[in-house]
A and B are shown apart, each in its own frame.
Chain A
Amino acid sequence: MTSGKQNPKRKKNKTNSSPYKMTVQQAMSLNASTIIGVGVLTLPRSVTDAGHQFGWYSVLLGLLYGVLGIFVVVKLGARFPGKTFVEFSSEILGSQKVKWLGPVIRFPLILIYSLYWALVCSLVARIFGEVVVTAVLTNTPLEVIVGTMLLLCLYLAWHDVEVVTRVNEVLLIIIVIPVLFISLSAYQNAQMEFIMPLVPYDGYWFQLLQGSLPVMTSFLGFECMLMFNKHLQEDRKMMRYQIYGILVPGVLYLLIVIAGIMAFGYEELSRQAWPTLELIKSVNVPGLILERLEAVFLGVWVAAVFTTAGTWFYCANWTLSELIGRPHKRRWITVAYVLLIYLLAMRLGGNVQELFRTTDYAGYGGIVLAFVIPGLLLLIAMARKLDHRGEKEEESREAS
């Protein structure tokens, strides 16, 4: 190799010594498109159940929690640049003198995370299958729909992290633009009366707080950044872009919920199984070649579900492989894992109501794993003054 000025970007791509680093926009897209998932279809109903026409405040509250959550996750990760959650959790929980302590303590924790990601992935695939089977492909077996979706996840899991980030970056655009279009065009039927009054009075605040809990679960997905931390740049803009990553789904959710409330009123919303689909059904786009847009929306939604389920499965697989100390692209383990998730998806809940309940429980578990545990770990790390910021740079400076 000849010497000379090296383009730093390209150098990373070619040599294995320094790992791939995603750009800040990619981190944002990864975050946003992982969050936007199955929640979009039911959110207008679930927030207005408790909060009535003030339901959109719950979305704002959920957004606030989400920002808080990502703040903690990024702060925690920033202390351990270039390390995954699996790697730095043993450092936080273990001690330097007793080498075996960290790995032993972290083992159950990481296993729980991996299983949690597997569970939410299977839930997403299952709910997706239920919607498709109910609304579009009524005769196609659920097994086939869930199976094909998981096959796509498997295909994604065979690739490197950089492919995952790129896929998310591309698909985010494909998801956001049509969803934006649809939620905006739903405003043609909007009635101000349904959302008035804008300020809730005393009795509703508590209900709104209650309602923000299911919303909080719709913002889950950012906890994947614990794993992707390994490939995050040490960049001052990173925190800002990660918060944008929460804001994109937040604004989208807000638009859809407000559109739903204004077009239907909360009482009509409570009668609908998939309010967002109904919203699309009532959109009349004159002069368009297509008369009904549900199938098109569901098509776009496939991409949204894929980015969610795919990233979660990627994390589940990655966590497990790192835990048992094998490279995460070992294919047969991945295949076995995807089979497990498939079986899980088919066993979860007999009817739709049970499925929703399981989703709620998984969501509450997710709140613990995404908000509470990273918070605790951050506190421990701060107390133990564990901080590796800037160390890599020094090393590389010495090396060169």
Chain B
Amino acid sequence: MTRFVKPRKLSEWKQQQVLEERFEQKVDRLPEDGLTEDLDLNLKTLHEMLGYSNDLIIRDFICETPRHMRASLIFVDGLVSTEIIDDQIMRPLMITPVAEYKEHLLPPTEAVLHIKRSVLPIGEAKESAAFKDVVKSVLSGDTALLLEGCRQALLLNTKGWEKRSVSEPTAESIVRGPREGFSETLRVNTALIRRRVKDPDLRVKNFSVGTRSNTDVAVLYIEGVADHNIVEEVQRRIQDIEIDGVLESGYIEQFIEDNHWSPFPIIQNTERPDKAAANLLEGKVIIVIDGTPFVLIAPAVLSQFYHSPEDYYERFLISTLLRFIRALSMTIALLLPSLYIAFSSFHPEMIPSKLVIAMAAGRATVPFPSVVEALAMEISIEILREASVRLPGPIGPTIGIVGALIVGEAAVSAGIVSPIMVIVVALTTIGSFAAPSYNAAIALRMLRFPVMLLAAAFGLYGIMLFMILIVVHLCSLKSFGVPYLSPFTPRNLLAMGDSVIRIPLYWMKKRPNVFAESTDNVRLKPSSAEDIKPDDKWKTEPQTEEEQDQ
């Protein structure tokens, strides 16, 4: 049973708190009563709670330090590192203690504390008396140490499952920039971000979402930079989610986004830690979800979908040019086929006369109207694209080339498709790949089809109708209270320097308060830009040469 709670206005705060309580109750369906002094009973209860699962391992042994007593280690096979258990837990516990301990035998209750304090060389250990905590910890890779005659269990961090190492991100590849990508482990991911932003103000807040999956979700933001209203809103919406399982960040995204019907992505995702860090610095909120390398960035605005982290690594002229190219290619991906339809079947007077005759000749054998031709070609290229994603790695590109080249060529020579149409489709497809953000590209791919139909009905007027419809829709969108079309509207000149164009880094002296708190918006100390002015260097260099000569 999934139930999504729509993001709710703050005025309905009370109602939401009621919901939160109900949510808590669901999580607390584990027995409230704590551990007993009877080890066997405890083990039996645990066994029953976990339904005698085969991967649950209970290791009984005799503990020697600090005193001779029965003890049990409980852990889930595969989630723990057996090396840690062998070397750091079992070994110290089982060695006969030095003489002094033998003399004052500690009572079992204090033994737990003693073990935690002075026996086990384990980084993270905490005692707990509730079965609920024990089960939760054990399921997330901890090892529970239960002692005979002790009402407390020691929960030891032994997480050590098989995980993918940090590797190069595959979905967002860039030429210049770090090669690290996020992996599937929450802690690794937060660490990757933390390593880039060593700011004491960086906050990491953990949540557990999913009544059954109990997935860890971390919300990251920089206190004082991120607008705290947005931070609160993000946290509130995450807490509102009542779903059984969260398997990927897309689950969270779909529950906290503002408009479910919009084709445009309202939350950005990335697998690049550098991009996440840059967004943190802009005042955005990062949501990291355990089990997926894609982290969410909220809020998002339209102009970010053609930005790439590389834009900031390359020099500004090049980046500006690249952004123009990307904006152009996204326009091509959206509009080129419909423009072809509009021009060829409504306004041929706009095409140069010599070209129009060649085009007419190319179309002479084509039995379909250009809209059908375009739709057929676009659909088949979509099929090809979808198929090449599923194809086994090595033959994927080959089939792609075979499909595109051979089918296209054959279609032209069979006279089903005009040669210009092949160019149009090819450009459209390539254009949609130039978009750095995959989900924005999908939106454009999708919207291409209705525009084509409208272009077939009204020509350029139809395209314009559609564009106005889209503009009105985009204007009505908001991402966590931030208008989707900012900084274009409401206009923010400071932020516009980093939208279609990318002004030099040393001009970005202030942080635009589109996402950020307006209190502390200094990005660049005023002096630093002057210090590195090239003329100063120019003056000093000859002097040093002279000195060397002397």
Spell out A's residues near B (CB within 8 Å).
Answer: 1-2, 4-7, 9-11, 13-16, 22-23, 25-26, 132, 136-137, 140, 145, 148, 152, 155-156, 159-160, 162-163, 165-167, 169-171, 173, 289-293, 295-296, 298-300, 302-303, 306
Contact = CB atoms under 8 A, between A and B. Distances in A.
Contact of B11 (A16, A26, A166): A16
Nearest to B11: A15
Contacts of A26: 489-491
A10 B229 contact: yes
B30 interface: no
A298 B229 CA distance: 44
Contacts of A173: 488
7 closest residue pairs by CB, A with B: A166-B475, A169-B489, A302-B464, A166-B489, A295-B347, A163-B476, A299-B464
B485 A166 contact: yes
Contacts of B232: 1-2
Given A1-B232, A13-B481, A306 B350 contact: no
Contacts of A159: 472, 475-476
A167 B472 contact: yes
Contacts of B468: 152, 171, 302-303, 306
Interface in B226-264: 227-230, 232-233
Contacts of B10: 1, 14-15
Interface stretch (B96-104, B114-122, B169-177, B513-521): B513-521
B469 A152 contact: yes
Contact of B491 (A5, A10, A23, A298): A23
B229 A11 contact: yes
B228 A2 contact: yes
10 contacts: A14-B9, A25-B491, A26-B490, A137-B459, A148-B465, A166-B489, A167-B471, A169-B490, A292-B349, A299-B464
A299 B460 contact: yes
Contacts of A165: 489
Most buried by A among B461, B467, B485, B519: B461
A137 B489 contact: no
A51 B13 CA distance: 66
B207 interface: no
Contacts, number: 126
Nearest to A17: B11
Contacts of B350: 290-293, 295-296
B351 interface: yes
Nearest to B465: A148
B368 interface: no
Contacts of A156: 472
A298 B471 CA distance: 18
B478 interface: yes
B472 A10 contact: no
Contacts of B513: 7, 9
Contact of A291 (B349, B458, B464, B467): B349
A22 B475 CA distance: 14
Nearest to A128: B461
A25 to B, nearest CB: 5
B121 to A, nearest CB: 40
A329 B509 CA distance: 42
A14 B460 contact: no
A1 B13 contact: yes
Contacts of A169: 488-491
A5 B519 contact: yes
Given A136-B347, A169-B491, A145 B353 contact: no
A4 B228 CA distance: 9
A170 B488 contact: yes
Given A6-B229, A10-B227, A166-B475, A303 B464 contact: yes
Nearest to A140: B458
Contacts of B460: 136, 295-296, 298-299
Q: How large is the interface on B (under 10, 10 to 19, 20 to 34, 35 or more residues)?
A: 35 or more
A179 B483 CA distance: 27
Nearest to B516: A7
A155 B471 contact: no
Contacts of B353: 291
Most buried by A among B9, B232, B471: B471
B123 interface: no
A132 B461 contact: yes
Contacts of A293: 350
Contact of B481 (A14, A152, A155): A14
Contacts of B351: 290-291
A22 B227 CA distance: 21
A7 B229 contact: yes
Contacts of B518: 7
Nearest to A145: B461
Contacts of A303: 464, 467-468
B309 to A, nearest CB: 27
A137 B490 contact: no
A13 B489 contact: no
B465 A302 contact: yes
A1 B233 CA distance: 10
A5 B227 CA distance: 10
Contacts of B488: 169-170, 173
B369 to A, nearest CB: 15
A171 B485 CA distance: 12
Contacts of A166: 475, 483, 485, 489-490
Interface string B1-17: 00000000111010000
Nearest to A300: B464
B392 interface: no
Contacts of B481: 10, 13-14
Contacts of B138: none
Contacts of A4: 228
Given A23-B491, A171-B471, A136 B461 contact: yes
A302 B467 CA distance: 10
B51 interface: no
Interface in B1-59: 9-11, 13
A344 to B, nearest CB: 21
B394 interface: no
Interface in B334-382: 346-347, 349-353
A40 to B, nearest CB: 16
Contacts of B452: none
Nearest to A167: B475
B461 A16 contact: no
A51 to B, nearest CB: 33
Contacts of B220: none
B475 A170 contact: yes
A299 B227 contact: no
Interface in B475-505: 475-476, 478, 481, 483, 485, 488-491
Interface string B207-218: 000000000000
B463 interface: yes
A16 B472 contact: no
Contacts of A5: 517, 519
B283 to A, nearest CB: 11
A24 B181 CA distance: 43
Contacts of B230: 10
Given A15-B11, A156-B472, A306-B468, A23 B490 contact: yes
Contacts of A1: 10, 13, 232
Contacts of B483: 162, 166
B372 to A, nearest CB: 20
Nearest to A2: B232
Contacts of A16: 9, 11
Nearest to A149: B465
